Amino acid sequence: MNEAAELNLRTRYPEILGGMQDGIQCSDGWLTILDALFDEITRHCKREGIPVPRARQVKEKTGSLRCYLSSRDDFIDGLTQMAEEISGKTCEVCGEPGLMDVEDNIVRVRCLKHGGRTEEERDRMTTIWRLEPEKPPSDERRVPGRTEEGLDLRILDLLSEVADDYCYKRAPEFRVDAVHGGDGLRFEHQGADQRLEGLMAMTSAFWKRGAP
């Protein structure tokens, strides 16, 4: 990440990043994801009256974001998991929607403008894994793909996929009945545990910053 962007993040989130020795080891395209993640972590900790965790390392690994923290709870686990999943669909260079791909044994996420391939081209040459490889995709969506205002959002498709993989074993009753846009996304839901609450909070925070 370029020095100016990293300095801006360190200035905005000194409790999280102030003690981290290494630099942020990912490209600028994931800046918005990190901003949303650190903001939500800070808000959650202040709301719950718990210490804000310090980041030990923030980097790219196998094509997605990794953020290692000094402490966490289920809600923060949900935030960080969703941030990682969003990064796997976000071009590392520019922040536009991208595709995870493998080239020369290196996993990366790129849009077409920055050297990515189409999904059809990738699938002819590369196998990309699912979160639960042995589980068939669900025929039933847990999260609608459209807001009540009529917006079709890619980020809701990703949330539904991630939630389905998680709920398969841990929260089978989870459903989102409606999604409302506005200043962030608001979810009418049932059966959510704290991790799922974190997934939804990160989805809302990222979309609020201009995600499609």
Proportion of the chain above pLDDT 90, given as a percent: 78
End-to-end, the C-alpha distance of the chain in Å comes to 23
pLDDT at position 138 over 60: no
pLDDT at position 63 over 80: yes
CA 180/CA 79 separation, integer angstroms:
20
> What is the per-residue pLDDT for 131?
43
Q: What average pLDDT does the structure give for the chain?
A: 91
Q: What is the pLDDT of residues 20-48, one digit of tens each?
A: 988 999 999 999 999 999 999 999 999 99
Q: What is the pLDDT of residues 155-195, one digit of tens each?
A: 999 999 999 989 988 999 999 999 999 999 999 999 999 99
CB-CB contact of 164 with 153 (8 Å)? no
> What is the per-residue pLDDT for 126?
62
pLDDT at position 140 over 90: no
CA 10/CA 19 separation, integer angstroms:
10
CA 27/CA 174 separation, integer angstroms:
34
**Which residue's entry shows tokens 């962007």?**
5
> What is the per-residue pLDDT for 198?
98
Neighbours of 35 (CB within 10 A): 18
> What is the per-residue pLDDT for 85?
95
> What is the per-residue pLDDT for 130?
44
Q: What is the pLDDT of residues 79-121, one digit of tens each?
A: 999 999 999 999 999 999 999 988 778 899 999 999 888 888 8
